[in-house]
């Protein structure tokens, strides 16, 4: 192909092919019609037309989450690009690789308030890992190569490439670069051996160790190494919301999720630990509670590939900058070589203390004849676990109940918005999961508020046969906000009661199966019918409006002060 000239639009698609991209999500517009013309004339890249640009970004992230590969989105300039910002910020906070291509007005129009012009570089600067404005068609393939490299290395994240209209029309020779060299960007993948040795010695000598597994374990692909080191050290493991699935729930060392709505025993174990081994977590406020009272007697070993995350919120006594899998492999090798004494009697005593804390559990009943959301979600788990489903969620009470009640023994099966807490994320993310894993059972567990954020994507599901089973927990409220209003704002339910269309009729209007469930005996037949449908389905579970999520550590309280029910605080 050397010497042959191609337009910028053609180079974009050829570059995607070089990066192994098979699917992209997008929405066309005036300044990127040259790209859509190029798409029309090729068969290598499959394009999925969403109904809103935000959905394209969430779908790309859902694709990235279940595959570990970068997701790709393509949108037009101005309002199209602006509509991507929430999705870009979501991927940035949760650390997933996506590359977003935005259209832009011609170079000679930038800064002149041209029709559908927006400063995409300025707008996205604070919520992406890096961004580019391409000013020369000769730079385009280099920029694309760099974009994918940055998005997928170090701590993954979104990269934005802004494409002026004239750059897409201009021509140059296609010669895709094989390597990338970026001054000042050189993520450290190897943990310092002295620090690793210190960490191993400290963990071996610990009497009450706890491992906290964060989203970085999933990104690193270190779940097997985590299980091995935990068993070697006889150290129990708690996970963050983003770390769900990184440690098998059927292990006797599993403590489940910690934090605001984490298990009582996980929170107490972390609070009473003498050593915390934190892997790939930035210790945000949802897992620490009152920061000044978080694990005050513990020495903290913190491993993260992002040096900015270490000691950002919780001071680290032994910081290790590096890829978690590499660090754990090194630590396992050292353990097998040196065979340190791990004080097994003390470790067994510690596990016994935790076992006693397990007796204190949140109340899971409601004083109503209406359907319990927790019963619905428990049934969903029981009836779908044999299919090893991919479970996506929106944000709110249903998200926390799903994290509590579903058991995951594999990574990349739970897809949710953690850092940004984006309502409307789950449904398009589930579409991305369907595109990536068309043979998997994909659930989206949603609230009646959050599902309406991107409900227009029912059309996308029907167009492409995305077999998402949308399970709507329909309690008539913005449930989590209502819960806070009940406990913290004297039951002043200001603007949290929410209306919605008839979900069953709406599903049918889009041409899919809609099912209404109002009684407990209707749950199992509805789920069975949805699975057998092998097509997009929406189930409307009408549930008790005032059901609460417990355990609950109120904002600003220490992890040891846990509400287990409306009446019980421990």
Q: Would 5-173 and 193-357 be classified into the same CATH topology?
A: yes
Which pTM was predicted?
A: 0.96
Q: Distance between CA 392 and CA 253 in Å, rounded?
A: 25
Question: What's the CATH class of domain 373-542?
Answer: alpha beta
What pLDDT, on the 0 to 100 scale, is given for residue 225?
Answer: 98
Catalytic annotation present for 353: no
The residue behind tokens 């040891």 is 560
- Report helix, strand or coil for 261: coil
How many Cα atoms are found within 13 Å in the side-chain-facing hemisphere of 84?
41
Q: Which CATH architecture has domain 193-357?
A: 3-Layer(aba) Sandwich (3.40)
What pLDDT, on the 0 to 100 scale, is given for residue 1?
Answer: 45
Catalytic annotation present for 331: no
Catalytic annotation present for 116: yes
CATH of the structural domain 5-173, one choice from 3.40.50.970, 1.10.3720.10, 3.40.50.2300, 2.60.40.10: 3.40.50.970
> Is 50 in contact with 74 (CB distance < 8 Å)?
no
> Is 535 in contact with 441 (CB distance < 8 Å)?
no
Catalytic annotation present for 333: no
Contacts of 381 (CB under 8 A, 6+ apart): 405, 406, 407
Given 42, 44, 115, 524, which residue is catalytic? 115
Given 69, 145, 155, 165, which residue is catalytic? 165
**Closest by CA position to 140, among listed 107, 176, 106, 104:** 176
Given 480, 512, 541, 547, which residue is catalytic? 480
CA 251 to chain centre: 23
Residue 393 backbone zone (phi > 0: left; psi -120 to 50: alpha; other: beta) = beta
What pLDDT, on the 0 to 100 scale, is given for residue 2?
Answer: 53
pLDDT along the chain (570 residues), means of 10: 84 98 97 97 95 98 98 98 98 98 96 95 98 98 98 98 98 96 94 97 97 97 98 97 97 97 96 98 95 95 96 96 98 96 94 94 81 97 98 98 97 97 98 98 98 98 98 97 96 97 98 97 98 96 96 95 80
Catalytic annotation present for 195: no
Q: Distance between CA 517 and CA 388 in Å, rounded?
A: 24
> Is 249 in contact with 227 (CB distance < 8 Å)?
no
Domains of the chain: which residue ranges? 5-173, 193-357, 373-542
Q: Distance between CA 290 and CA 556 in Å, rounded?
A: 5
Residue 47's φ and ψ, nearest 5 degrees, are: -105, 130
């Amino acid at each position: 192909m050397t010497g042959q000239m191609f337009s910028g639009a053609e180079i974009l698609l050829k570059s995607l092919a070089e990066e192994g991209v098979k699917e992209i999500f997008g929405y066309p517009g005036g300044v990127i019609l040259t790209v859509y013309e190029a798409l029309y004339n090729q068969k290598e890249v499959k394009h999925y037309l969403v109904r809103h640009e935000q959905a394209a970004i969430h779908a790309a992230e859902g694709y990235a989450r279940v595959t570990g590969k970068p997701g790709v989105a393509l949108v037009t300039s101005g309002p199209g690009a602006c509509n991507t910002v929430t999705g870009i910020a979501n991927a940035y906070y949760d650390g997933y690789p996506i590359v977003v291509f935005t259209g832009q007005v011609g170079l000679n129009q930038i800064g002149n308030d041209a029709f559908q012009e927006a400063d995409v570089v300025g707008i996205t600067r604070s919520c992406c890992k890096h961004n580019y404005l391409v000013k020369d068609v000769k730079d385009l393939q280099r920029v694309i190569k760099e974009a994918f490299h940055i998005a997928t290395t170090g701590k993954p994240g979104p990269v934005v490439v802004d494409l002026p209209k004239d750059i897409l029309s201009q021509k140059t020779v296609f010669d895709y670069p094989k390597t990338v060299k970026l001054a000042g960007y050189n993520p450290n993948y190897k943990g310092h051996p002295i620090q690793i040795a210190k960490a191993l010695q400290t963990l071996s000598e610990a009497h009450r160790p706890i491992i906290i597994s964060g989203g970085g374990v999933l990104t690193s692909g270190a779940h097997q190494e985590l299980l091995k080191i935990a068993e070697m050290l006889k150290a129990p493991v708690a996970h963050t919301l983003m770390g769900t699935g990184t440690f098998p729930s059927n292990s006797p060392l599993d403590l489940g999720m910690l934090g605001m709505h984490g298990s009582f025993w996980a929170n107490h174990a972390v609070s009473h630990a003498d050593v915390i081994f934190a892997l790939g977590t930035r210790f945000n406020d949802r897992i620490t509670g009152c920061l000044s009272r978080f694990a005050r007697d513990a020495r903290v070993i913190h491993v993260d590939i992002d040096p900015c995350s270490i000691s950002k919120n919780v001071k680290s006594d032994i910081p290790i900058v590096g890829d978690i899998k590499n660090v754990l492999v090194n630590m396992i090798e050292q353990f097998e070589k040196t065979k340190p004494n791990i004080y097994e009697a003390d470790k067994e005593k510690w596990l016994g203390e935790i076992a006693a804390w397990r007796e204190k559990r949140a109340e899971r009943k409601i004083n109503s004849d209406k359907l319990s959301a927790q019963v619905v979600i428990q049934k969903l788990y029981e009836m779908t676990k044999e299919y090893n489903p991919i479970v996506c969620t929106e944000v709110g009470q249903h998200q926390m109940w799903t994290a509590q009640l579903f058991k995951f023994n594999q990574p990349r099966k739970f897809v949710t918005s953690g850092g940004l807490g984006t309502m409307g994320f789950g449904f398009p993310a589930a579409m991305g999961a369907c595109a990536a894993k068309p043979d998997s059972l994909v659930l989206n567990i949603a609230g009646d508020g959050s599902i309406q954020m991107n409900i227009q994507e029912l059309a996308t599901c029907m167009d492409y046969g995305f077999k998402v089973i949308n399970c709507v927990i329909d309690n008539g409220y913005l449930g989590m906000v209502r819960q806070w209003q009940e406990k913290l704002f004297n039951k002043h339910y200001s603007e949290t009661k929410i209306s919605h269309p008839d979900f069953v009729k709406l599903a049918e209007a889009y041409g899919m199966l809609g099912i209404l469930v109002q009684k407990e005996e209707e749950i199992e037949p509805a789920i069975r019918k949805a699975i057998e449908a092998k097509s997009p389905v929406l189930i409307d579970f009408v549930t008790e409006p005032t059901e609460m999520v417990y355990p609950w550590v109120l904002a600003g309280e220490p992890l040891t002060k846990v509400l287990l029910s409306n009446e019980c605080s421990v």
